[in-house]
Structure 1
């Protein structure tokens, strides 16, 4: 790639710290989302069981569920952080890829 971006070391450190914070929060959300696939307490009626199953599907276990969406964001932010950690050069190469990933996750929500 003919373009090159040079980032000052302190700017890279700040960006990496922000990415690490976001990833840590997303990791917490992912651990919480692990339990979303278990919907309980809706009762024994058939309609209640169907409602519980619907909530469980939205929580975890399908590509569109909350758990999987959070994990997709973790992957995208990890790639972004890694691109910046390279000093910015890889950012140009990865920029459109991770932007496309984030946009596709948001569009599917």
Structure 2
């Protein structure tokens, strides 16, 4: 697979968007942790089962809100890293092209001196 190459201003914009998403995910994760102790369902067995079910949806299993937020956070971190790598790729590509153009300029200058 060929790496993507993006211009520096595009990369900076994408990274900024990722940073904003990470900030929002952090806030959501912090709020979700407040859901570890829910109450108010009553004392009947069915109410306790319902309470337990909701608690698991928030924090208690691999498909819980807390776990999903962690997964989203990891995905955004990986996207941000991909944009950084794309920037490095653009910079490397740009430097290589600059060197090639400089070499061509040197060759053209030599050719014009010979003529």
Taking only aligned residues, the RMSD between alpha carbons, in angstroms, comes to 1.4
Look at both structures and tell me which one has the larger radius of gyration over its CA atoms.
Answer: 2
Q: For CA contacts below 8 A with separation 6 or more, give which structure has more relative contact order.
A: 2
The residue that corresponds to 1:95 in the other structure is none
Which structure 1 segments of 5+ residues have no match? 90-109
Q: Distance in 2 between matches of 1:6 and 1:51?
A: 51
- The question of 1:35 aligning with 2:34 is answered yes
Bigger mean CA deviation after superposition, 41-50 or 17-26: 41-50
State TM-score, norm by structure 1: 0.74
1:46-70 per-position Cα deviation (integer Å, ceiling 9, x unaligned): 1111110000000002101011001
How many equivalent pairs are there? 88
The residue that corresponds to 2:105 in the other structure is none
Which structure 2 segments of 5+ residues have no match? 90-115
Q: Is the helix fraction higher in 1 or 2?
A: 2
The residue that corresponds to 2:70 in the other structure is 71
State TM-score, norm by structure 2: 0.71
The 5 A counterparts of 1:48-67 are: 48-67=47-66
